[in-house]
Amino acid sequence: MFVPIDVDDLEKSYILILPSDYTREKFISYAKALDNKYAGKIINEILDVFEITATNVLDEYKKYYSMEFTSVFDFFYKHHNIEKKYIDIVVQNFNEDDKLLFGSATAACDYNLADLMFDEKIVSAINTIFEGIRNEDKN
């Protein structure tokens, strides 16, 4: 699940909840977009942003902050200053075996791509793909 966090006009952060067996290849396969088409190029650029900027928050929390914060969600709230409404979305959708990542879209791309990534239709499409990958695991 892609949870966009629009901090302000300049900073666009996000949380990713990835199924344990997520791969870039699965995402592209579910997107059904060809690399040589515009949609395929945009999807690859978005995935590049995820791969370049995302930090594994669970690993970071367990390694450095588990004594300081009561949970990874408390860590998000107090260390990264993430609003409760976003944390609630994560809590509702996070499964124990998921990967939990945090990143900044504006750290790795131009503002046009960051704005596109945060468009409601794009967010919905990304989340539909992640849901397809998650449901595949259940079957």
CA 101 to mean position of chain CA atoms: 6
96-106: b (≥16 Cβ within 10 Å) or e:
eebbbbbbbbb
Strand partners, 100: 17
pTM: 0.85
Residue 34 has a pLDDT of 66
Q: Which residue has the higher pLDDT, 25 or 35?
A: 25
% pLDDT > 70, the chain:
91
Residue 8's pLDDT band (cuts 50, 70, 90):
low
pLDDT in tens, 87-96: 999 999 999 8
Residue 15 has a pLDDT of 93
Residue 137 has a pLDDT of 59
